[in-house]
Structure formats: C-alpha cells, structure tokens
C-alpha cells in the first residue's frame, strides 16, 4: 500500500507480531489483542514477553556493544545504515502510518506526516554520526597534549509512550545509533506494532544483529525491569511524571544509570493584543487539538491579554467548531480518536471538574458519537483561575483553559506558574515583548508567532519537572556519549623520585 487512496480499510484479522532480540524474530509467548481506539475492533496481537526475554535482549545488546560490531565502525559506515533506513521508510511510509493509525487512533494524514518527520530524523542522525567529535587542549604546555574523546555510553534502554509511538521512537533511535550505542526498546503496550516494524527496516538497512532489540509487554513488569537492570548504562524514558520519578529511584537503587526523561507539560500559549489574532487563534485551536491534545507539547493554557480576551476566545471557539473530528482512516480527518479508554475517562473527568470548579464551557466538552470508537470534541474553557485543577494538571486531551492578563509581568508569572517547563508559544508583533517573554519563560521549546514548528535538528526536552536531558540533533547524539579526558605526554618527563 503506497498511497492513501483508496481509503484504507480495517484488517480482516488482527496482525500477529513476534518480538525481536539479537537479530531474530521470536514467538511462543502469550499474545494480547490491541483494539483500534477509532473502531473498537482488534487490529494487532502483541507478545507478552517475560523478564527472561528482557534479560536476553540486554545480553544481546551488551555483547553487540562490547565486541564493537557497531561502535567500532566509522561514523560514515553508521551513517550509511541510517540513510538506507531512511530510504526504506520512504518506501514503507503508508504501511507504517496505517498500523500507527490503527493502534493509536490518530488521523492517517497526520501519521504520514510523522513518518516523514521520522525519515528526517534518520537523515539528520546520519549527518550527526559523521560529525560527532570531541575536543583538544593545546594549552597544557609543550610536553602535554589533551584530547577530549566522546565515547558511546553503552547499552541504552528506551521506554516510549503511546501518543507518538513511531515519532518519539525515531526522535531517539537514529541519534542513539549515531553515537555507537546499542539498545533495548520497550514500547507502550498499546502501541507496539510500529516499533517492531522498525526492526524490519533496520535489519534490511544492514544494522548488525543485537544492536536494536525490542521486548514488548507491560510497563509494570518489562518497563520496570528495564529501569532496574544493572547492565543498562542509560535509560531514555518518555511518559508520565509518576513513572519518570520511579525511573529515578530505580536508577539510584540499581547502577546509577544515566537518565534522559521527557515527562509531562502544561504549556502556555501567550497572546498579546497586538498579535495577528486570526493567526494566533488558528494556532491555539491547532495547538490543543493536534493529536487530540495527547501531546506533551500541547498548548493547554491560553494566557491572553484582557483587552482582547473575549474576542479571541470567540475566534478560537469558531475555529474549533470547524475542526473535522472523525474516523482516523479517513484522509480528511483532522482529529481522531482518544488512544485509550483510561485516557478518555481522564479527559471527560477533567471536563466535568472544570465545570464543577466554576469555569465556563465555551465550546466542545462533548463526546462525538461515530457509532464506533471514542472521540471528544475540541473544548475551550474561559474564566479559568490558576488554582483550578484544569489549569494546573496535565489533562492530555483537547481541553484549552483561558486565563486573562493585564501586564507583561503578569503574563510571564502565569506562564511560569506550573511545575512543568516543556514548551511555550508566544504571539506578539512587538520585538521588545517577544524577547523579554522568550528570555523569562522557563520552557525547553519556545515558539514565537508559531507553534510546534521546527525539525529534528533542534533539541527537544524540558525545564523543571518536564524532564532531564535533550533529544535529537547533535545535542541528542551527545546525550548518548560520555567524555573521556586523554592526556598525552611527550618529551622528557620530570621525575618525582630523585
């Protein structure tokens, strides 16, 4: 299947997957069914791996790391594998997008865009593999020369969530591979298919066996065991703040493995009265509805200058009402299904709470009934105060909370009034305001007169409780390396003992 038309249909039977360790597909484990959240019918069957399977995967990754079958190659050789993977992804784009849509519920057109972005990650990872370098000190005197080497950190554990199963994977894997590390991936139990498909892609691209391993199963067993594993050198985790915290404990209690964490967000979109309000309203509606708001960088707090607040909220509500919520397999759909029933309940619970706390429901707040699956209309609350739970908690759904401000200081204070610091968007035509707010809002990603812009050249990651470290681009590769200071003495050495 390499085009979106004809409109793809559901698979007639669920597709059964194996798991992937040491370059071999494995089976024989109990399987669990994953139903499409947009249709309510089983679409995939995924193995419930054991901790022995996980241990075998870590051993395979360790062996592949220590014998230098990957780390020992030149950056150019690693780059050519990554570039071949990018070419294979181009060929398999529609197929991978299809399985992503079925398991996640996101619109197929969006899933295709995410595969394109993932291809770019592999291309940039290839460039980064060739450019990876250290430093030197020629300032230590004529008898001493200093070199700073970057070495791959070793075996990486990668735990990914269900909201962008393939994209988040590809914002990490090419950069981990570029550094020379080997890895064991544990995808979310509800969206494992495309992580397994990437194993096929990497194998065809010529990645040596044992470098990329995938073990599927629950977070509480396989995920937890990976965080605690004494032979894993680094863990990259993307998911909830609660599990992120448990990763920190597990790392401390096992082997002090290095952690990369990308956790929750409660991101502001700040709109000044002088902004192009139509552009900003489009961005506000997009920023909270994209991926049904199940996005760590969703802009869920609208902080808008009071003099235009009512007008702006009306503009956003009008845009939201036009968003096409529908069957994820329909190429015209803009907003698909909520990925899990648990998340659906969480979002509906917050919508009820917002009303109970006294916020005004301007638009949305209702379930869209397509006769199958779970869908929630994009929702806007006005009259929100900073202490309401809809203003403080990461809802992870299409729910935007509007709060007015009068002064720039108040806008900055409201934007920073959160334990998170993942992303922020700012709308103004005034350069002084733009630079002041950009410098003072504590967020890892900042968009001025745009939202969710950029590519995998730019680093991703958060301030405060949104996480540790950065992924993607050259920063992302460096994250998976460690530094060795090498001192080389030349000439005659001064003896300590006479």
Q: Does 220 sit near ligand TXE (CB under 6 A)?
A: yes
Q: Does 228 sit near ligand TXE (CB under 6 A)?
A: no
DSSP classification of residue 495: P
- Cβ nearer to ligand TXE, comparing 186 with 470: 186
Candidate residues 114, 262, 313, 377; the one interacting with ligand TXE per rule CB under 6 A: 262
Q: Does 428 sit near ligand TXE (CB under 6 A)?
A: no
Sorted by sequence, the CB contacts under 8 Å of residue 63 that are 6+ apart come out as 210
Q: How far is the CB of 407 from ligand TXE (least distance, A)?
A: 31
CB 82 within 8 A of CB 178: yes
Orientation of helix 277-289 relative to helix 306-322, angle to 10°: 60
- Cβ nearer to ligand TXE, comparing 240 with 482: 240
In this structure, the number of other CB atoms found within 10 A of the CB of residue 330 comes to: 17
Handedness of CA 62, 66, 68, 72 (dihedral sign): positive
Site string for ligand TXE, 332-351 (x = CB under 6 A): -----------x--x-----
CB 167 within 8 A of CB 467: no
Q: Is the peptide bond before 464 cis (omega within 30 degrees of 0)?
A: no
Rounded CA separation 382/402 (Å): 5
- Cβ nearer to ligand TXE, comparing 63 with 240: 240
Candidate residues 263, 270, 308, 317; the one interacting with ligand TXE per rule CB under 6 A: 263
3-state secondary structure (DSSP) of residue 165: helix
Q: Does 54 sit near ligand TXE (CB under 6 A)?
A: no
Q: Does 189 sit near ligand TXE (CB under 6 A)?
A: yes
Stretch that binds ligand TXE, among 26-34, 48-56, 161-169, 359-367 (CB under 6 A): 161-169
Q: How far is the CB of 162 from ligand TXE (least distance, A)?
A: 6
Stretch that binds ligand TXE, among 113-121, 160-168, 360-368, 445-453 (CB under 6 A): 160-168
Site string for ligand TXE, 389-418 (x = CB under 6 A): -----x-x----------------------
Torsion of CA 433, 435, 439, 445, to 10 degrees: 100
Q: Does 161 sit near ligand TXE (CB under 6 A)?
A: yes
- Cβ nearer to ligand TXE, comparing 54 with 211: 54
Rounded CA separation 480/258 (Å): 9
Q: How far is the CB of 262 from ligand TXE (least distance, A)?
A: 5
Q: Does 227 sit near ligand TXE (CB under 6 A)?
A: yes
Rounded CA separation 382/215 (Å): 44
Q: Catalytic site residues?
A: 262, 296
Strand boundaries in 215-308, DSSP class E? 234-238, 258-262, 267-271, 299-305
Stretch that binds ligand TXE, among 87-95, 132-140, 220-228, 363-371 (CB under 6 A): 220-228
Q: How far is the CB of 466 from ligand TXE (least distance, A)?
A: 8
- Cβ nearer to ligand TXE, comparing 404 with 469: 469
Q: Does 240 sit near ligand TXE (CB under 6 A)?
A: yes
Among the listed residues 253, 339, 293, the one whose alpha carbon sits nearest the alpha carbon of residue 43: 339
Candidate residues 36, 179, 195, 238; the one interacting with ligand TXE per rule CB under 6 A: 238
Handedness of CA 301, 304, 310, 313 (dihedral sign): negative
Strand boundaries in 82-179, DSSP class E? 135-137, 144-152, 155-159
Rounded CA separation 224/285 (Å): 37
Stretch that binds ligand TXE, among 25-33, 157-165, 379-387, 434-442 (CB under 6 A): 157-165
> Which residue is it, tokens 């398999």?
92
Span 268-327, contacts to ligand TXE by CB under 6 A: 296
Rounded CA separation 94/115 (Å): 8
Q: Does 49 sit near ligand TXE (CB under 6 A)?
A: no
Q: Does 264 sit near ligand TXE (CB under 6 A)?
A: yes
Binding residues for ligand TXE, total number by CB under 6 A: 26
Q: Does 219 sit near ligand TXE (CB under 6 A)?
A: yes
Q: Does 374 sit near ligand TXE (CB under 6 A)?
A: no
Q: Does 165 sit near ligand TXE (CB under 6 A)?
A: no
Candidate residues 36, 101, 110, 163; the one interacting with ligand TXE per rule CB under 6 A: 163
Among the listed residues 372, 422, 415, 417, the one whose alpha carbon sits nearest the alpha carbon of residue 396: 422
- Cβ nearer to ligand TXE, comparing 237 with 427: 237
Task: Give the strand order in the sheet containing 31-35.
Answer: 15-16, 42-47, 31-35
Rounded CA separation 120/174 (Å): 10
Rounded alpha-carbon distances, angstroms, from residue 100 to 13, 131, 418: 16, 32, 32
Handedness of CA 310, 312, 313, 314 (dihedral sign): positive
CB 320 within 8 A of CB 285: yes
Q: How far is the CB of 244 from ligand TXE (least distance, A)?
A: 7
Q: How far is the CB of 52 from ligand TXE (least distance, A)?
A: 17
- Cβ nearer to ligand TXE, comparing 224 with 402: 224
Rounded CA separation 158/137 (Å): 34
- Interface residues with ligand TXE (CB under 6 A) are 159-163, 186, 188-189, 219-220, 223-224, 227, 238-240, 243, 246, 262-264, 296, 343, 346, 394, 396
């Amino acid at each position: 299947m390499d085009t979106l038309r004809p409109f793809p249909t559901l698979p007639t039977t669920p597709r059964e997957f194996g798991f992937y360790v040491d370059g071999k597909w494995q089976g024989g484990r109990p399987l669990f069914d994953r139903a499409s959240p947009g249709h309510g019918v089983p679409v995939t069957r995924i193995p419930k791996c054991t901790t022995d399977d996980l241990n075998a995967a870590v051993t395979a990754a360790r062996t592949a790391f220590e014998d230098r079958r990957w780390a020992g190659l030149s950056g150019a050789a690693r780059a050519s594998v990554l570039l071949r993977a990018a070419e294979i992804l181009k060929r398999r784009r529609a197929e991978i997008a299809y399985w992503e849509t079925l398991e996640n519920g996101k619109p197929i057109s969006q899933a295709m865009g995410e595969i394109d972005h993932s291809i770019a990650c592999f291309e940039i990872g290839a460039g980064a593999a060739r450019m990876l370098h250290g430093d030197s000190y020629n300032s230590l005197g004529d008898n001493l020369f200093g070199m700073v080497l970057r070495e791959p950190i070793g075996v990486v554990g990668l735990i990914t969530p269900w909201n962008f199963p393939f994209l988040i994977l590809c914002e990490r894997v090419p950069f981990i591979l570029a550094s020379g590390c080997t890895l064991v991936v544990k995808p979310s139990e509800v969206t494992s298919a495309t992580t397994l498909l990437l194993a096929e892609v990497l194998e065809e691209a010529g990645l040596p066996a044992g470098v990329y391993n995938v073990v599927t199963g629950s977070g509480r067993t396989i995920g937890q065991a990976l965080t605690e594993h004494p032979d894993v050198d680094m863990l990259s985790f993307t998911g909830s703040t609660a599990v992120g915290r448990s990763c920190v404990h597990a790392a401390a209690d096992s082997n002090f493995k290095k952690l990369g964490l990308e956790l929750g967000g409660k991101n502001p979109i700040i709109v000044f009265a002088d902004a192009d309000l139509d552009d900003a309203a489009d961005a506000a509606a997009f920023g909270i509805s994209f991926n049904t708001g199940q996005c760590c960088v969703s802009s869920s707090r609208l902080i808008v200058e009071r003099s235009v607040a009512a007008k702006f909220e009306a503009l956003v509500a009008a845009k939201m009402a036009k968003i096409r919520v529908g069957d994820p397999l329909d190429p015209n759909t803009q907003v698909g299904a909520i990925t899990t029933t648990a998340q659906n309940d969480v979002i509906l619970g917050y919508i009820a709470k917002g009303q109970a706390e006294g916020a005004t429901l301007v638009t949305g707040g209702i379930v869209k009934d397509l006769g199958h699956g779970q869908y929630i209309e994009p929702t806007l609350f006005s009259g929100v105060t900073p202490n309401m739970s809809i203003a403080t908690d990461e809802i992870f759904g299409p729910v935007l909370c509007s709060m007015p401000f009068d002064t720039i200081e108040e806008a900055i204070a409201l934007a920073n009034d959160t334990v998170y610091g993942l992303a922020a968007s700012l709308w103004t035509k005034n350069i002084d305001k733009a630079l002041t707010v950009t410098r003072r809002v504590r967020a890892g990603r900042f968009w001025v007169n745009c939202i969710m812009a950029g590519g995998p050249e730019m680093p991703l990651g958060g301030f405060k409780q949104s996480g540790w470290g950065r992924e993607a681009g050259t920063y992302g590769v460096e994250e998976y390396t460690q530094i060795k200071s090498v001192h080389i003495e030349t000439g005659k050495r001064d003896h300590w003992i006479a």
